[in-house]
Structure 1
Amino acid sequence: MQFNYYFLRHLSQEIAECITGMKLTACFSQNKDELIFLFESDEKIFHLKANLDGQASLLSFPQHFARAKRNSVDLFDAAIQQRVAGVRQYINERCFSIILEDCILLFKLHGRRGNILLYQKKRFVSMFKKELIQDAKLQLDSLDRPIDHSIESWTRENYNLRILFPTFDKTILRYLTELSFEEASPTKKNDIISHVLALLDQREFYLYEPNQEIPKLSLIPIEGKEQRSTFASAIEISNRYAQAFFTNYQFSKEKQSLLKQLEKEKAKAHNYITNTQNKIHEIQHSRKYDELANILMANLHVPITREQNSIRLFDFYTNEEIEIKIKPKTTLQQSAEGYYRKAKNQGIELDTAKKNLGKKTKQLKSLNEQIDQINEMDDLRALRTWNKSQSKDSQSRAAQLPFLHFVIDGYEVLLGKNAKNNDLLTQKYARKNDLWLHAKDVSGSHVVIRNLNHLPFPKHVIEQAATLAAWYSKRKNDTLCPVIYTLKKYVRKPKGSLPGQVLVDREEVVMVKPTRQIND
């Protein structure tokens, strides 16, 4: 309610009492939506701080303000060193002007579309929020909106508050509803309106500071609202309102935002742990591929047809018959070799899953510790310091390698950022048994999957890394993109070739949909 007309009447009057006769010695901005005015006289100084960012549009009057040495710009130069002649509040309008010797500063305080404009000889010169281009058409002489507030006019308009009092905001209208205004007789309505106008005229202001909510400034008491403070000065309550907004509400908002982000990461890690545990359990309790291979090897003498795709044999592990799938047009020995390969890959998959499970468990523990740390904080500065330190840690870890960095199911994936960076990645950082990927026949990032303990790369990891290679290439808008992959030892750079150019001696191709979204 700070930008409510009735409060602005009190506030502009107090501002006039403070700055009339003083000189405007500085006007500057050091944030996108913040403007500072400095008024000085021989006896005192007066700061007026305007925040006009939409959500936090408010005026405050700090006793001290240290101007930043950098990223600060002077504004409204024509008004500097001019003495204040007075302050004018426009009738029934959320605007007031600071009248200087040769200029006028118009404070148009229309909530999210608030702005401050400079006029010389009543002609528009410049404004703070330049994107509000229609404000340049505002004429100072047309801002007053006189309305007949006589009892006769109330009766004539049938007590239509929207017409009679367009300056009543939601809080005032709600208060009238609580007083049963609509059901009242004409005489009672006159009394209610007179009572409300008297409340709005008196210098008694209320500030409500509910936990984790935007603080509320009001000229009338709000039923059901607790934690109320009462003030007799519009400037004093404006300062307290600004403090409540930026230190209490903003703290709560930033704290909840951080907690929400960490809880999301925690849920993601928890789901990963659950899925990995299920995968490990499934592998450990499923039929072993090497057992199937052993059964086949023990029955190589059994005849099969070329088109046969399964065979029933005696299972000497369970003493029962078992049906084993075999590949058509192959021998039992070849099918057994396939099962041995699957057994080896299954063992690799199990080892990788256990390693990733350990990493995710550590990450989950770290997330829980961070959530506990944030929950214990009750200060905005401490919260921002903590968040900044966390960001620096993340940035320093990312800065250790000059490439884009991803992790896919525990496998580290690096991407070059440009042609020279591609050479650096492929020629200096990649090891011979790392997997190298690139979008086929077009320019794009070199992609390297780090090899873990010289184990074969899982198919799903290759496919996800290939989607990144496709996205960071000239084929990023294609429906499907062919991506080549090979071990880095088969990639060489010819002498004299351009940055990023290489030759590949052997390759495989996978078709993928370009995307930069990967599954954690």
Structure 2
Amino acid sequence: MALDGIVIYSLVDELSSKLIGGKIDKVYQPEDDELMLHIRSDKTNYKLLLSANSSNPRLYISSTHSKENPISAPLFCMILRKHIQNGRIVNISQPNFERIIKITVESLDELKNIKTKDIIIEIMGKHSNIILVDKKENKIIDSIKRIPINVNTYREILPGKKYIYPPSQDKLNPLEDISLSYFKDILYKNNNAVFKSIYSSFVGVSPSIAKEVCFRACIDENSITTSLDSSQIENLFESFRRMFGQIKNNIFYPCIVIDKRIDKVIDFSCIKLHMYSDYSFIKNESISFILEQYYYKKDAKERIHQKSQDLRKSVSTKLDRLYNKLKKQSEELNESKNAYIYKTYGELITSYIYMIKKGMEEIEVINFYDEEGSTVNIKLDKSLTPSENAQRYFKKYSKLKNAEIEISEQIDITSQEIEYLENILLNIGNCENTIELEEIKEELIKHGYAKRRKDFKSKDKAKPKSEPYEFVSCDGFKIYVGKNNKQNDYLTFKIGSNEDIWLHTKDIPGSHVIIKSDGKSVPDSTLLEGAVLAAYFSKGRMSSKVPVDYTPRKNVKKPSGSKPGMVIYENNNTIYVTPCEEIFTKIKNR
């Protein structure tokens, strides 16, 4: 999947038809690497998203953008407002079929003179950037990412520097006419798998498009180019020529390819990918729609993952300490369980006290507690009397015996804390938006596992609440799944009623699940789906035969003073399920 030169070509065609002549009303920068331009064109309002995100660089007209903008606009946003806000878009182009889009804007300066600026969006993976350039001087005004000479020796991306395009890859433009013999020479020159030879020879062509060319020509994409005979070369050339002939004539088929069994996106493109005929297609006239469908959830998920990294690291560090603490406590418990040996030593010293004199370092005596009557060596403190040595062992026995009870209690506390934080770690992984992430942060702050930032300012307005997952079983019963501990408590004790079915993975961190019975008997098929959801939203997601406990909700209790999400339950049964992606997708899409 790639936002390649072909997709950009179709995108430029779409943007040109809708935005040229449009006025840029507003400029926002919701993320460090992302812009949103509000454009009024032909009596229609558009939101143009521009992103230089390293993982998901992209550009398209957005219909679902809902991010909050920072209270204070970043510097680059302020510069853009100065130079292009209220300006008109006069041209949109794609230089040399590269993954670059240039938006040319005319605006008035302070003296009411017309000035022309280029907004250049370079879609180059981790090197992606958005650069504002003075068109007349070809000088950089500023960029969303500043790149000094010590980072890139080929070109600096800094204010006042001359703008230079990224280095050329010396590839051919696939839209230019070439002969069959030249096409053959190009492929033979790159003696590789056919599809590799195609995408490494032509600019803007992704591996996916190269494979589609091979598929249409009925040629194995992995065949070595020099192994192709003349008829195969001709078929390949004809397939290539027809595909790019359609693109040149702006004949597009914007689509997303989906494996519906597991609800997974396989690919997207602006042409029909016949090689995926066994999969389902989402088709739309707008390539922007297709790009937003693909990138919206992907980008949101990755940004949440990035924003949660510090929290995840903090919880993981605390867990590592607790694991070490539990190990040490377990070792101490094992030692305390051997306390009887010190009592035996004390009693043996008392029994053989007539044989011991002060100053002795050890004594060997018969252990009359041993059925075989073996001898045992007992270490002595030569500075103590025989009686004092016996008392020393009796005291050690008492201390360890008392410690056994205390250590056992400490182990229970440590184990509960580990279980709680493992659940927190799982909850962080389940986060789908910043609201859910903030709820977890607040919970950790409340229970002393995290501190509030010094620059934190409380907002008076009520915070929005996250909602649990809601599914419908094959029998029509509603099934709810908590996303975090706060939701788990709310789900179990507010949404759930006494006769509903409560489910949770057995001895495995996971979400609370409630099957709403509405006074009816819950069928086994619904119970099975509820168990699959409990296993899927647990640490056992990638395992097979995951044990899931279930019981009427009335059997679930929350101990006084326990942490969020912590409960005890009784009278439960256990079912074993394998949480495969295909079954989950079927439930999710019902």
Please give the secondary structure, in 2, of the residue aligned with 1:362.
helix
Structure 1 position 232, deviation (Å): 2.7
Residues 1:326 and 2:377 are matched in the alignment: no
Deviation per CA, 1:228-252, whole angstroms, max 9, x where unpaired? 4223321111221222424577789
Task: Please name the residue that 2:495 is paired with.
Answer: none
Give the Cα separation in 1 of the matches to 2:417 and 2:130.
49
Deviation per CA, 1:421-466, whole angstroms, max 9, x where unpaired? xxxxxxxxxxxxxxxxxxxxxxxxxxxxxxxxxxxxxxxxxxxxxx
The alpha-carbon distance between structure 1 residues 331 and 279, as it changes in their structure 2 partners (threshold 3 A), is: same
Task: Please name the residue that 1:40 is paired with.
Answer: 40
The alpha-carbon distance between structure 1 residues 93 and 122, as it changes in their structure 2 partners (threshold 3 A), is: farther
Give the Cα separation in 2 of the matches to 1:31 and 1:158.
43
Map 1:296-315; keep pairs closer than 5 Å. 296-304=349-357, 306=359, 308-315=360-367
Map 1:92-241; keep pairs closer than 5 Å. 92-101=97-106, 102-120=116-134, 121-133=136-148, 134=155, 136=157, 137-139=162-164, 147=173, 149-151=177-179, 152-158=181-187, 160=190, 161=198, 164-176=201-213, 178=215, 179-180=219-220, 182=225, 183-185=228-230, 186-198=233-245, 200=247, 202-208=251-257, 216-218=267-269, 219-221=271-273, 222-223=275-276, 226-241=279-294
Deviation per CA, 1:289-309, whole angstroms, max 9, x where unpaired? 133123223433224484x43
Structure 1 position 135, deviation (Å): 5.1
Deviation per CA, 1:280-330, whole angstroms, max 9, x where unpaired? 355325533133123223433224484x43212344544744321223454
Do the aligned partners of 2:326 and 2:414 also contact (CA within 8 Å) in 1? yes
Deviation per CA, 1:80-114, whole angstroms, max 9, x where unpaired? 22211121221221112111222121122222211
The structure having more radius of gyration, on CA atoms, is 1
Task: Please name the residue that 2:566 is paired with.
Answer: none
The alpha-carbon distance between structure 1 residues 309 and 225, as it changes in their structure 2 partners (threshold 3 A), is: farther
Residues 1:49 and 2:45 are matched in the alignment: no
Do the aligned partners of 1:61 and 1:238 also contact (CA within 8 Å) in 2? no
The alpha-carbon distance between structure 1 residues 95 and 279, as it changes in their structure 2 partners (threshold 3 A), is: same
Structure 1 position 187, deviation (Å): 1.9
The alpha-carbon distance between structure 1 residues 290 and 200, as it changes in their structure 2 partners (threshold 3 A), is: farther
Instruction: Count residues with an aligned counterpart.
Output: 397
Give the Cα separation in 2 of the matches to 1:323 and 1:249.
65
Give the Cα separation in 1 of the matches to 2:389 and 2:284.
87
Structure 1 position 204, deviation (Å): 0.7
Task: Please name the residue that 1:480 is paired with.
Answer: none
Deviation per CA, 1:146-195, whole angstroms, max 9, x where unpaired? 74541153244355536641322221233345533633523223223224
Structure 1 residue aligned with 2:444, among 386, 389, 394?
394
Do the aligned partners of 1:48 and 1:60 also contact (CA within 8 Å) in 2? yes
Do the aligned partners of 1:107 and 1:117 also contact (CA within 8 Å) in 2? yes
Please give the secondary structure, in 1, of the residue aligned with 2:96.
coil
Give the Cα separation in 1 of the matches to 2:448 and 2:143.
39
Amino acid at match of 1:343: Y
Please give the secondary structure, in 2, of the residue aligned with 1:398.
coil
Q: TM-score, normalised by structure 1?
A: 0.63
Structure 1 position 142, deviation (Å): 10
Do the aligned partners of 1:34 and 1:51 also contact (CA within 8 Å) in 2? yes
Q: TM-score, normalised by structure 2?
A: 0.57
- Between the two proteins, what is the percent identity of the paired residues? 13
Structure 2 residue aligned with 1:243, among 286, 289, 296?
296
Query: Which one is further off, 292-301 or 2-11?
Result: 292-301
Give the Cα separation in 1 of the matches to 2:117 and 2:303.
36
Task: Please name the residue that 1:406 is paired with.
Answer: none
The alpha-carbon distance between structure 1 residues 127 and 224, as it changes in their structure 2 partners (threshold 3 A), is: farther
